[in-house]
Structure 1
C-alpha cells in the first residue's frame, strides 16, 4: 500500500522546521513563497528570478528540499523564473494528504502545481531522486515539459549497484556522526556542505518519506520520452554507471545529451556548481521554443 509521508512526531517536525528556517538564509535571491494545493497535498513553492525564458522547475534529491539549490540558483535564474519545490512525500514544508502510488501520479502532481502557478509549460531539472521524479514528469506530462535535465539520475537508465544500496541501508540503520562523515566522504567527495545544510539533512531523518524510488526504465518507456533531455553524471559516481547510461541513452533516446564530468561524484553539482549550473542554463535556453509533445 502506498504511504503518505509524515514526520515521526511533533518534536521531529519542529526540529526540522527550525533547521529549514536557518537554511532559508542561504538563498541568495529575492523570492516569493506560496503553498499550492493539489490532489496530493499542498506543495511549498519558492520562485526567484525574472526574464523572458520559460520557467524552470527544480526537484531536489532524497533528504533534501528546494533550498538545496541555493548554490546554482543565480546561474539558473539569470533570464527566467526558477521554481524550487519541496516535493510532496519528502521532508520540507509541503504537506502530503494522498499517496503518489503510481508513476503517473507524479505527472498529475506536476501538472497541478503548474496550474496553481498559472503556467502552461516549464523546463524541469531534477537531481538524484529528483531526477527520477523529473523523468516521470517527462513521461506522464510531456505536454507540460519543455525540457528535462537530470543530474546524477542513478537507477533510471541503469541499475544502482547493489553494493552501494547495501552500504546506504547500513548507514540508515545506525546514522551516527562518524557514520555521517564516512557517508559524505564516500557518496559526495569534494563537496563542502555548510553546518546549516548538514543539520537540515540530519533533521530530515525524522520524516518518514513516501517519495518513491527510482527503477530502470524499460526500452519502451525510454522511447516514449519526447521532451529534450540532458543527463549529467559524475565520472566517479558510486551510485551511477555513467558510461553505460550514456550508451543506453544514445540508443534509446535519439537526440538526448549526456555529459560526464571528470572527477565528479554523486555530488557533482556541489563539487562544480558553476560548471553544472552553466551547462543546464545553456541547455534550457536552447529549448525555450521547443514544440509541445502530442499526447
Structure 2
C-alpha cells in the first residue's frame, strides 16, 4: 500500500503485479474500496502493474483534507499518478467509479491510454423511479432483511458474505463528499476522446443498457460496447472472468506503440 500526498489529502493506493506495459488504474464503486477488486486482481495484474486507489471523498483509508467534486477529480488523479511516477494509464471504473472515470476522461484525457466503464449508474441513463422508490424505502428502514433483499434485487446472483454485508451497512452511514453520479450531456460525452469500452448487464436495474450503449456510440468517436445477457448490475461479480477478459483485450489493443515495444 502506497501513501500518495495530494492537495486534496493523503491517498492510499494498492499496487499489484509487474510488467512493462501501461498500468491499469481501477476506480471502485460507491461504498467500496480497493479490496473490491480482489477476485479480479490475479488475472488483471498477471503481466502489468495495476493500481487500486482508495478514492478521496469516499469511505476507505484515504484522508480528505480539501473539497473535491467531479470537475476536480481529474486533478486528484493527476496528482496521484505524479506521486506514483506514472505518466499514462488505462482507467477502469465500476458503478460510481465509472462516473468518476468518465469525469476524469473528459478533463484529464492526456493521462489516459483508454477508458473502460462498467455499469455507470445515473450517468448515461436516468435511474427509473421504481429503483429510486425502493432505495428510499429501504433507506427509511435499513434492516438487515431489507438491505439483503435490495442487494439481491439489484445484483441477482451475487451473494455477500457476512464481512461484505457489514461493509455495505457501514458505507450507508457515510455521506460521500464527491456527491452522487450526475447525467452526462451529449456535449460532455463528446469531450471523451480516448478509446472507450462500455460494459453493461442486460438485466441491470441501474442502467438502461441499450440506451446507454447507444449514447456512447453516438458521442464518442472510438467506442466499443458489450451488453451481456442474463447479467445485472453486479456484472463484475457474476461473470468476473468475462469482464477481466474484455478489459485486458481492450487495453492491449489500445496500448501505445512505445509501451508495446517495451514488453
TM-score of the superposed pair, with normalisation by structure 1:
0.84
Change in CA separation of 1:269 and 1:290 when aligned onto 2, cut-off 3 Å: farther
Q: 2:17 maps to what in 1?
A: 49
**1:81 and 2:49 aligned:** yes
Runs of 4+ in 1 over 6 A off after TM superposition: none
C-alpha RMSD of matched pairs (Å): 1.4
Is the alpha carbon distance of 1:290 and 1:191 closer, same or farther for their aligned partners in structure 2, counting shifts above 3 Å? Answer: farther
- Tell me how far apart the structure 1 counterparts of residues 216 and 6 of structure 2 sit (CA, whole Å): 33
Cα 1:132–1:78 change in 2 (3 A) is same
Where do 1:189-228 residues align within 5 Å?
A: 189-228=156-195
**Cα distance per residue 1:146-191 (max 9 Å; x no partner):** 1110110122222122221221122223211101210111111101
Instruction: Look up the match of 2:261.
Output: none
Q: Is the 8 A contact 2:193 2:222 kept in 1?
A: no
Query: Structure 1 CA distance, aligned partners of 2:137 and 2:244?
Result: 32
* Alignment counterpart, residue 111 of structure 1, candidates 71, 78, 84: 78
Aligned partners of 1:48 and 1:219: how far apart in 2?
36
1:60 to 28, 32, 37: 28
- 1:290 is displaced (CA, Å) by 7.0
- With structure 2 as the length reference, what TM-score do the two structures score? 0.94
Is the counterpart of residue 270 in structure 1 residue 237 in structure 2? yes
1:98 and 2:57 matched: no
| Number of equivalenced pairs | 258
Deviations 1:232-286 (A, max 9, x none): 0000000100001111222111321111110110101100111111111111111
State the match for 1:243 in structure 2: 210
Alignment partner of 2:77: what SS?
A: helix
For residues 287 and 135 of structure 1, the distance between their equivalents in structure 2, rounded to whole angstroms, comes to 17
Gaps of at least 5 residues in structure 1 are: 1-32
SS in 1 for 2:158: coil
What's the offset of the Cα at 1:104?
Answer: 2.3
Q: What 5-or-longer segments of structure 2 have no aligned partner?
A: 259-263
